[in-house]
Amino acid sequence: MAAALLRHLAGRRIYVESAGVRPGRPDPFAIAVMDEIGIDISDHVPRAIDDLHDLGFDLIVTLAPEAQHKALELAQGYAIDVVYWPTPDPTLTTGSREMILDAYREVRDRLFDRIKAEFQVQGAGGV
């Protein structure tokens, strides 16, 4: 969600890649809450940090402790800043579909606000 939000807000001004600790499958809850704000991530296939071949990044933003450790290992020997934005994991939410969607919405909205503030971007449209 974070990478899609940054792409949406910054357009082509910032090069963005998305990777996590492990590869995975598209998350239907993430797809649904991003679709609510007009961002289509249905084609996104989660990749692992280890699958990144181009390390021409200035900055890596991690959202989970395990990802932070992996990113620090990856960045060793490179001029890459690594920052950690502690973010709740909505996949751990239990309950009704609406409760789970609310957890994803909360993460989406927190990331949206943080990205706007940190990258000073407004995007091409209202979200």
Q: What are the pLDDT digits (tens) for 85-109? A: 999 999 999 999 999 999 999 999 9
Which of 121 and 4 is assigned the larger pLDDT? 4
Q: Name the token pair of 123.
A: 């995007």
| DSSP class per residue in 62-81 | ESSHHHHHHHHHHHTTSS-E
Runs of H (alpha helix) within 1-127? 2-10, 28-36, 65-75, 97-119
Residue 127 has pLDDT above 70, yes or no: no
pTM to 2 decimals?
0.88
28: helix, coil or strand? helix
Mean predicted lDDT score pLDDT of the chain:
91
Cα radius of gyration (the chain) = 15
Question: What residues does each domain of the chain span?
Answer: 2-119
Alpha carbon 61 to its chain centroid, in Å, reads: 8
Overall fold of domain 2-119: Rossmann fold (3.40.50)
Query: Are residues 94 and 108 in contact, defined by beta-carbon separation less than 8 angstroms?
Result: no
Which residues pair with residue 112 across a beta bridge? Answer: none
Q: Do residues 2 and 121 make contact, with C-beta atoms less than 8 angstroms apart?
A: no
